[in-house]
């Protein structure tokens, strides 16, 4: 689809570049989904709870690299994987199926759920990100929300960069945000949004379907 970096920066995720349906990683019934991948990578390497001050752990497996920076009063609900060099700030809420790559920031009062954050992507200030893929060096402005469920609860249809529409057969699916995109403050993306690389979305915008710069 051409949304994500295919180089070494993506570590385990280079295959996303050649996958015609990268959103399949968000489906729990998919052969290679985030829950399975995280569980496989984490194994028995979970960081002892006593090493993270005031963190609240539930379920598992949960792997937090010793080189990650973890603030106080963070809640983790596994499966979760946090790489070296990631920063999880005070009061963040990481829900099941969250993969945070190196250099990423999950900020104060930010909630992340069933989401892949590729290297150096940031959700730093009061964000909600559900069932999504954030590309390399994506930045969400303060208060940006990635909505993941239609009001009518029907499966989510997306429009690809070539303008073809596809039924994802997912009831919960937020957004695919291409590399190095900037999302302005208080932006809301509707379920199934597709944002090409290097996009710049102005503050307070509402994104539906394929974003055209």
- Which domains are assigned to the chain? 8-207 (2.160.10.10)
Confidence at residue 75, expressed as pLDDT on a 0 to 100 scale: 93
Active-site residue identified among 12, 65, 108, 125: 125
pLDDT, tens only, 159-191: 888 888 999 999 999 999 999 999 999 999 999
Which region among 17-21, 88-92, 107-111, 147-151 has the lowest average model confidence (pLDDT)? Answer: 17-21
Query: Is residue 23 predicted with pLDDT exceeding 50?
Result: yes
Confidence at residue 50, expressed as pLDDT on a 0 to 100 scale: 42
Q: Could you give the count of Cα atoms lying within 13 Å of 16 in the half-sphere of its Cβ?
A: 32
pLDDT, tens only, 100-136: 999 999 999 999 999 999 999 999 999 999 999 999 9
Query: Is residue 57 predicted with pLDDT exceeding 50?
Result: yes
Could you tell me the pLDDT band of residue 49, with boundaries at 50, 70 and 90?
Answer: very low
Cα–Cα distance measured from residue 127 to residue 212, given in angstroms and rounded to the nearest whole number: 23
Residue 205, φ and ψ in degrees, nearest 5: -75, 155
Is 125 tagged catalytic? yes
Give the pTM.
0.92
Confidence at residue 51, expressed as pLDDT on a 0 to 100 scale: 52
């Amino acid at each position: 689809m051409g949304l994500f970096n295919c180089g070494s920066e993506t570590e385990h995720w280079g295959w996303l570049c050649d996958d015609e349906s990268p959103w399949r990683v968000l489906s729990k019934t998919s052969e290679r989904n985030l829950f399975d991948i995280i569980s496989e990578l984490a194994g028995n390497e979970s960081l002892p709870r006593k090493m993270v001050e005031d963190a609240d752990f539930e379920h598992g497996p949960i792997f937090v690299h010793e080189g990650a920076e973890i603030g106080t009063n963070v809640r983790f609900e596994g499966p979760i994987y946090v790489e070296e060099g990631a920063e999880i700030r005070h009061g963040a809420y990481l829900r099941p199926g969250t993969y945070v790559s190196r250099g990423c920031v999950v900020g104060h009062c930010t909630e992340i759920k069933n989401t892949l954050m590729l290297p150096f992507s940031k959700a730093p200030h009061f964000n909600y990100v559900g069932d999504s893929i954030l590309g390399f060096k994506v930045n969400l402005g303060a208060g940006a929300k990635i909505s993941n469920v239609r009001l009518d609860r029907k499966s989510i249809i997306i429009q690809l960069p070539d303008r073809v529409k596809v039924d994802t057969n997912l009831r919960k699916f937020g957004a695919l945000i291409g590399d190095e995109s900037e999302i302005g403050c208080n932006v809301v993306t509707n379920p199934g949004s597709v944002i090409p690389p290097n996009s710049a979305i102005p503050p307070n915008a509402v994104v539906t379907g394929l974003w055209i710069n």
